A and B are shown apart, each in its own frame.
Chain A
Amino acid sequence: MRWLSDPLLAVDHLSMRFGGLVAINALSFTVGRGDITALIGPNGAGKTTVFNCITGFYKPTSGRIALAQGGTLERGAIEALTRSGKKRTQGVNPELFLLERMADHAIASEARVARTFQNIRLFPGMTVLENLIVAQHKTLMAASDYSLGGLLGLAKYRAAERKAIDLAKAWLEVVGLVARADDPAGDLPYGAQRRLEIARAMCTNPVLLCLDEPAAGLNNRESAELTQLLRGIRAQTGVSILLIEHDMSVVMDISDHVVVIEYGVKIADGTADEVKSDPKVIAAYLGVDDEEVAVAEAGSVAP
C-alpha cells in the first residue's frame, strides 16, 4: 500500500476537456514510490490523455499533479506550494513539483519524469547510440558550457561525453542492443524499438518512468521478456513505473497497484487481486472484449 503510505505522484481532481468531449473527469490517484503502477481501461478511456497531462504535453483543464523527489509527498507541503503560486520548491528535501504548471521539457529535465509513446517515437535516422546520447542532453549541455567550451574542444566536455557513452552502453546491455549500437534506430525490428525507447527514457535518469502500452505489438515471449526487463529496471534503479497496458497477463503479473478508468472516471483502484474481482471492472471490460474479461476473472494467466 505504498501508494497510500509513501506516494511519489499525486493526481488530484484532474480534468481534461477537448471542446465538448470530457476525456478525463475529476480523476484522482496516487503512485507509490518504487511501485509498478498500472493504469488500465477500455480503448478511449483517457489513459494516454492522463499521461499527456502528467508529462506536460497537454495543459489540464483543471486539477493538480504533484510530484516529490527524494521523499514522501506530504499533503501540507503540496498545499503550501500551491498557494505560493510557484512551480516548484528550491533546495528543500523532498523537492516538490507542480507538474500542471511546468513546461513539458522542464517536467522531463527538472521533475525527472520520463515517458515512452503509444506509437514509438525514436529518432529513426540517428543511430541507436545517438538516441541514448540525445537523452542525456541536460548533463552534456552543462558539461559543454552551453556549447562554448565544447566548441573549443575542452577536456571537460570530452570526459562528459565518454561518461555518457558508458551510461548508454550500460543501458544497451540491459536491453540487449549492444550489437546494434551503430545502426540507425529506424532499422531495428519492432520489439527492439520498444526496448530502445525504454532505455532512452532511462538515460534521462528519471524518478518516474511512464510507459504507454510497452507490450503493444509484442508476442507472448517478448511480453514475458518485457516484464522481466521492467522488474530488473526497478530493482536496479529504484525508479517508480507507471504503465498503461492492455495485455492483462502483463498487468496482473507485475503491478503492485492497478488504477482502472472508464470514460475518464476512475472505477477501481487497488492491488491487482482486488481490481480483477471488482464487478465494475468486469462490467467495463465486458462491453469491450470477452477474452480480456475471462483473463480478468481467471486471474493470472500463463504467458
Chain B
Amino acid sequence: MGAPADALKKALIAGLVTLGLCFPIVALRTDANFSNQLVLTPRWGLTFTLAAIAAVGVFLISLLRPAGFERATPKRALDTAPPHPFFRYLPRIGLVLLLAYPFLALAISASGGPGLLKLVDTYGIQILIYVLLGLGLNIILGLAGLLDLGFVAFYAVGAYSSALLTTTFGLSFWIVLPLAGILAAFWGVMISLPVLRLKGDYIAIVTLAFAEIVRLVLVNWVPVTGGYAGISSIPKPTLLGLSLGPEPGSLTSLLGIPFSPFYRLAFMYYLVLALALAAYWATLRLRTLPVGRAWEAMREDEIACRSLGINTVATKVSAFAAGAFFGGIAGAFFSAHYGFISPKSFEFLESAMIVAIVVLGGLGSMIGVVIAATVMVGGTELLRELGVLKAVFGPDFDPAQYRMLLFGLAMVMLMVWRPKGLIATREPTVRLKPQPTRGAPAVSAGE
C-alpha cells in the first residue's frame, strides 16, 4: 500500500495534466451556427469531470500499487499457488446459472425489466456464440501458441457453407451443422500449410490476409454469396423435425399450447449452450491427450518438441483443424439463428474481438474465455445502455458512441492490472500427487 500523501500528489498532477490536455480539445468546442460561422461553446463541466476522473483513478491505482507498472508482472510462485476455492466452484455455479438463465430472464422481463429478446438473445445467445468462437481460437492461440488474427475466416466458412447448403439443397440444420464444422476444419488445414514454416508475427500476417481473402470472396462472388446483400431466409433449426414457429404443424400447435416466441428463443439458447459445453468438454479432453499436450509443448518450445519425436507439422495442422471446427460450428449456428448473413458480420473487428477474448481470459484458460466473452460482449452491450453516463457527461452524451472508447480503456487497465489475463494459473493436465488445498501448510521441497 502506498502512502496516501504520495498518492494524493500523483493524483493532483494527473488531474492538472488532464486539465491542460483537455483545455484545447474538450473545453473549447467550436460549432458552426446557421450562418456557417464558428461559435465557441465552452464545456467546463465536462473538462473538470474528466480531470476529476483522472485524478481519482490515479489516486486509487497508486494507493493499491505504489511501485508502478513493473509490479504488474506476477511472480512465478504465484502461478503455482492453488486457485482460490471460488474458481474451483465457479464451473458448477456457472453451469446451474446457465441452465436456469432463460427462466430467470422470463422472470426479470415479466417483472418490468428489459425485454425477453434482449435478455436471452443479446446477453445469452450472443455471448455463447463468442464463447464457442473463443474456445476454438483458444486451441490455436491459447494452447498451440499460433497467433491467428484471421479466426473469423473459419466462422465465415461455417456460416456461409451451412447457409448455402440449407437454402440451395434444403438440407436440415442438423446435417449441415457437422458439415460446416468439417468444411471449416478443412480450411483450417489449408491455412495451416503456408503457416507451417513461419513463426510468430508472420503467422499473424498470413492468417490476417487469409481472413481478408475470404471476406473479399464473400463480397465479390455475388452469384453464390449474394455479395453485400448476403444470404437471407435461412431456415431455422427444428426440434426432432418439428418447427418451433407459429405456423400449423409446429411443435406448439401439436402440443396444443399457444405459441410464444419464448420457446424458440429458449430452444436456440439451449442449443448453443449445448454446443459451447460440448466444445468445452472436448477441449478439456483434448488437453489430457497426447495431441493436446503436444500443442502446449509446442507453444513452450518447438525445437524441444522435435527433439522428442513430435511431428510439429502434424501438431500445427491438428491445432488449426480442431480450432477451425469449433469456429465452423459457431458459424453454422449463427446463420441458422439470425436467418441472415452478410460479409459485414465477418470483418477484422470480429477476429480482433475473439483474440481479445482469448488474451484477456488468459492464454489457454477455458474459464478465462467464458468470463472474458461474458465481460466483453455483455460489457459492450451494457455500455450502450448506461444512462448513468449521461448524468456525468451531459445530456448530449450518447454512450453507444463512446462504448468502444470506454471499452478500450477498460481493456488497457485490465491488461496493466493482470498482464497474463484474468486467469493466469494453468491447470496441469496430470498430477502425481492429489492437488493441495488452499490453506493447508505448503509443502516446500527445499530450494
Q: Say whether A and B bind each other.
A: yes
Within 8 A of A (CB), among B393-447: 426, 428-433, 445-447
Q: Report chain B residues within 8 Å CB of A192.
A: 447
Interface string of A170-196 (1 = CB under 8 A from B): 001000001111111011110010000
A207 touches B (CB below 8 Å)? no
Asked whether A63 is an interface residue with its Cβ less than 8 Å from the other chain, the reply is no
A134-B308 contact given A125-B426, A150-B285, CB 8 Å threshold: yes
Q: How far is the CA of A186 from the CA of B301 in the complex (A)?
A: 12
Cα-based distance from A239 to B430 in the complex (angstroms): 28
Q: How far is the CA of A114 from the CA of B77 in the complex (A)?
A: 31
> Which residues of chain A are near B305, meaning CB under 8 Å?
105, 134
Q: Is A182 a contact of B432 with CB atoms below 8 Å?
A: yes
Chain A residues, Cβ within 8 Å of B148: none
CA gap between A108 and B288 in the complex, in Å: 22
- Cα A234 to Cα B309 with chains together (Å): 21
CB-based contact A105/B306 at 8 Å: yes
Residues 110-140 of A, flagged 1 when their CB comes within 8 A of B and 0 if not, give 1000110100011111110110011101101
How many chain A residues touch B (Cβ–Cβ < 8 Å)? 53
B63: chain A residues at CB < 8 Å are none
Q: How large is the interface on B (under 10, 10 to 19, 20 to 34, 35 or more residues)?
A: 35 or more
> Which of B14-22, B165-173, B291-299, B330-338 sits within the interface?
B291-299
With A133-B430, A182-B432 as contacts: A117 and B304 at CB distance below 8 Å: yes
Max chain A C-beta neighbours (<10 A), residue from B286, B308, B309: B309
A235 is an interface residue with CB less than 8 A from chain B:
no
Chain A residues with Cβ below 8 Å from B243 are: none
Whether A140 contacts B290 by the Cβ 8 Å rule is yes
* Minimal beta-carbon separation of A167 from chain B (angstroms): 12
| Among B285, B294, B311, contact of A151 (Cβ-Cβ < 8 Å) | B285
A157 to B291 alpha-carbon distance, docked (Å): 13
B76 within 8 A of A: yes
Contacts of B445 in A (CB 8 A): 179-180
Docked CA distance A201–B406 (Å): 51
- Indicate if B72 sits at the interface (CB-CB under 8 A): no
Distance of A178 Cα from B432 Cα, bound (Å): 9
Contact of B308 among A172, A180, A200 (CB under 8 A): A200
A188 to B318 Cα, complex, angstroms: 31
List the A side residues contacting B447 at CB < 8 Å.
188-189, 192
**Known contacts A57-B303, A105-B312, A147 near B428 by CB under 8 Å:** no
CB neighbours of B430 from chain A (8 A): 127, 129-130, 133, 161, 165
List residues of chain B with CB within 8 A of the CB of A187: 76-77, 80
- Asked if B300 CB lies within 8 Å of chain A CBs, one says yes
Is A150 in contact with B290, judged by CB distance below 8 angstroms?
yes
- Chain B interface helix/strand/loop/mixed: helix
For B288, B296, B308, the residue with the greatest tally of chain A CB atoms inside 10 Å of its CB is B308
Contact B308 A137 (CB under 8 A): yes
Cβ of B79 < 8 Å from any Cβ of A? Answer: yes
Contact B309 A121 (CB under 8 A): no
Q: Contact check, A153 vs B311: say whether CB atoms are below 8 A apart.
A: no
CB <8 Å contact, B306 and A144: no
Q: Which of A108, A114, A135, A151 is B289 in contact with, Cβ under 8 Å? A: A151
**Which of B291, B294, B300, B428 interacts with A129 by CB under 8 Å?**
B428
Q: Does B36 contact A (CB under 8 A)?
A: no
CA distance A208 to B414 in the complex (A): 49
Kindly state the separation between the CA atoms of A42 and B300 in the bound complex, as whole angstroms: 31
The yes or no answer to A55 lying at the interface (CB within 8 A) is yes
B309 x A138 contact (CB < 8 A): yes
Select one of A114, A130, A141, A184 contacting B76, CB under 8 A.
A184
Residue A169 interfacial (CB < 8 Å): yes
A137 x B301 contact (CB < 8 A): no
Query: Which chain A residue shows the least CB distance to B445?
Result: A179
Pair A144/B290 contact, Cβ less than 8 Å: yes
A200 vs B77: C-alpha distance when bound (angstroms) = 23
- Across the interface, do B310 and A105 meet the contact criterion of CB distance under 8 Å? yes
- CA separation between A109 and B431, bound complex, in Å? 25
CB pair B428–A126 under 8 Å, yes or no, is: yes
Q: Is A204 an interface residue (CB 8 A)?
A: yes
A108 CB to nearest chain B CB (Å)? 4
Interface contact B308-A151, CB-CB below 8 Å? no
Collect the chain A residues with CB atoms within 8 Å of residue B80's CB: 183-184, 187
Is the pair B296, A151 in contact by a Cβ cutoff of 8 Å? no
- A104 an interface residue at 8 Å Cβ cutoff? yes
In angstroms, Cα B273 to Cα A159, docked, is 33
Within 8 A of A (CB), among B263-300: 282, 285-286, 288-291, 293-294, 296-297, 299-300
Is A133 touching B293 in the complex (CB atoms < 8 A)?
yes
Check A147–B289 contact: CB distance below 8 A: yes
Residue of A nearest to B447 (CB): A189
Partner of A126, one of B297, B306, B309: B297
B300 CB contact (under 8 Å) in A126, A140, A172, A204: A126
Q: Considering residues B77, B80, B306, which has the most beta carbons from chain A within 10 angstroms of its beta carbon?
A: B306
Report the minimum CB–CB distance from A110 to chain B (whole Å).
8
A109 to chain B, nearest CB (A): 3
What are 14 inter-chain pairs, A to B, with CB distance below 8 A? Answer: A106-B309, A108-B307, A125-B300, A125-B426, A126-B426, A127-B430, A130-B429, A134-B310, A147-B289, A161-B288, A165-B432, A179-B445, A183-B80, A187-B77
Kindly list the 6 A-B residue pairs having the minimum CB-CB distance in the complex, ordered from nearest.
A109-B309, A108-B309, A179-B445, A123-B300, A181-B432, A121-B304
List 15 other contacts, CB 8 Å, given A130-B429, A186-B76, A189-B447: A55-B307, A122-B300, A126-B293, A126-B428, A129-B430, A129-B431, A134-B293, A134-B297, A137-B309, A151-B282, A151-B289, A172-B432, A179-B445, A182-B433, A192-B447
Binding site for A on B (CB under 8 A): 76-77, 79-80, 282, 285-286, 288-291, 293-294, 296-297, 299-301, 303-312, 318, 426, 428-433, 445-447
